[in-house]
Amino acid sequence: MTDSRTDEATRKLLISFHPNPRVAPLFDGDVKVEGVNLAWDSGEIGAAFMRALTRNDFDIFEFSISHYIATRDHPNPAYAGWIAVPVFTSKPAGIYRNLFLRDAAGIQSLADLRGKRVGIPDFSMTGGVAIRVILRTLYGIHPREITWINTRPASLRHDNAMGFDHSTETGITITNIDEGSTPQQLLARGELDAVVGLPQVEVTAAPGIRQFPLEQWIEVLAAVRRAIGITPVNHILLLQKRLLLQHPDLAVRMLQAFERSKAEAYRRDPAARAIFPDYDLEAQRRAFGDDPFPYGLKANRQVLELVAEQLEIDGIIRKRPDIDGLVAESVRDS
């Protein structure tokens, strides 16, 4: 008879992670997690998050910080078994790169979003939270001063999959797109002033529609780093708590392996250090330092606290969590 404990100890652990240069050395096997065999799933990140929410079959997985925090405020037995390792391999660069503006709205800087109508795929997504943190930190803009439109269809919104929505007591105006329209069409018709496009809700430049300039994002993020010591992060590494029964030091081993993978990625290619790999690398080094992707709780505590605070302001959670309690005990001092 096979011992189920032996099966659990020797089977490959299913890990979900979006392709990322800082994770590539782990994915291609040059860096290994000591004593652990991994089977990688590297599908589209939004679909992977939805799979985690609806099937919960990943052992280890990349996940939205805002929605992870929300699981603590909206208890669900399906998510009670998740615990974080303070690995932050990505920034919301896709959100930054895909902010499109209607020329006639007269938006020259993010400060000009006050009083405007802004489309976001999912109001509760971490990238959207990061924008609101930036607006509040740098310009004093409260989310009540903007009209927000969810542009993802309801069936693809992660908060819907989790069974919650924002509080209606915040005074923040949030509406849902008419599913007969696209964000591109709303922008072209003047029904939106700015919108973030992502897979499934794509937006492109067109007559009267332009991207927010990348060089301005560098200036904005450098100002955020000066204000809070780090630029926003959007995803975190989660694992199933049950694995810690079989591998008590798994969280430590995962953190160490991801650190080694990042170091190898930096050795392989200087662009792995960049938030925007196709933009001036030296300008980014000056703006964001030699390691814009620090791991560990100490380096990221303030940004996690800001995300939690923003989620409370937004009415997505009722009470901010204890940040230490989000992370596996063995890596809280990292």
For residue 181, give the CATH number of its domain: 3.40.190.10
How far is Cα of residue 46 from the mean position of the Cα atoms in its chain?
10
- Identify the pLDDT of residue 193: 98
For residue 33, pLDDT beyond 50:
yes
Region 200-205: mean pLDDT is 90
Alpha-carbon distance of 130 to 64, in angstroms, equals 12
Across 134-155, average pLDDT: 93
Residues 190, 249: one domain? no
The mean per-residue pLDDT over the stretch 116-141 comes to: 95
DSSP per residue over 132-147, as a string?
HHHHHHHH---GGGSE
Once rounded to an integer, what is the mean pLDDT over residues 270-275? 96
Are the CB atoms for 88 and 333 separated by under 8 Å? no
pLDDT given at position 157: 77
Final residue before a domain boundary, out of 201, 228, 255:
228
Same domain, 110 and 207: yes
Supply 114's token pair: 């006050």
- State whether 99 and 175 are in the same domain: yes
Number of domains present in the structure of the chain: 2
Based on the domain organization, do 76 and 165 belong to the same domain? Answer: no
User: How many residues in total does the chain contain?
Assistant: 334
Listing from the earlier edge strand, what are the strands of the sheet with 147-150? Answer: 173-176, 147-150, 117-120, 194-196, 99-102, 209-211
Q: Are residues 139 and 204 both part of a single domain?
A: yes
In this prediction, residues 80-98 reach a mean pLDDT of 94
What is the band of 285 on the pLDDT scale with cuts at 50, 70, 90? very high
Write out the residue range of the structural domain in which residue 224 sits. 93-228
The answer to whether residues 67 and 126 touch, using CB atoms and an 8 Å cutoff, is yes
Provide the percentage of residues in the chain whose pLDDT is more than 90: 79
Q: How many CA atoms lie within 13 A of 56 on its CB side?
A: 13
Residues 85 and 103 both lie in one domain = no
* Structure confidence at residue 1 (pLDDT): 42
Residue where a domain stops, chosen among 228, 258, 276: 228
300 and 247 together in one domain: yes
Mean pLDDT in the chain? 92
Between CA 210 and CA 98 the distance in angstroms is: 10
Same domain, 293 and 316: yes
The sheet with strand 235-240 has its strands ordered as 38-41, 13-16, 60-64, 235-240, 82-85
Question: Are 101 and 210 found together in one domain?
Answer: yes
Rg of the chain in Å (alpha carbons): 20
Residues 114 and 195 in one domain: yes
In this structure, what DSSP letter does residue 35 have?
A: T
Rounded to two decimals, the pTM is 0.92
Question: Could you tell me if 195 and 121 are in contact, meaning their C-beta atoms sit under 8 angstroms apart?
Answer: no
> Residue 10 — very low, low, confident or very high, per pLDDT cuts 50/70/90?
low
3-class secondary structure, 318 = coil
Q: pLDDT (tens digit, 9 = 90+) per residue, 289-316?
A: 999 999 999 999 999 999 999 999 999 9
Tally of CB atoms within 10 A around 318:
10
Calculate the CA dihedral of residues 130, 26, 200, 160 and round it to 10 degrees. -60
Dump pLDDT digits (tens) for 153-200: 877 777 777 766 666 688 999 999 988 899 999 999 999 999 999 888
Residue 78: pLDDT band (50, 70, 90) is: confident
Backbone φ, ψ for residue 210 (5° rounding): -140, 160
Answer whether residue 8 shows pLDDT above 80.
Answer: no
Report pLDDT for 75: 77
Asked which of 208, 228, 248 is the last residue of a domain, the reply is 228
- Residue pLDDT, tens place only, 97-119: 999 999 999 999 999 999 999 99
65 and 124, same domain (yes or no): no
How far is 83 from 329, CA to CA, in rounded Å? Answer: 9
pLDDT of residue 83: 97
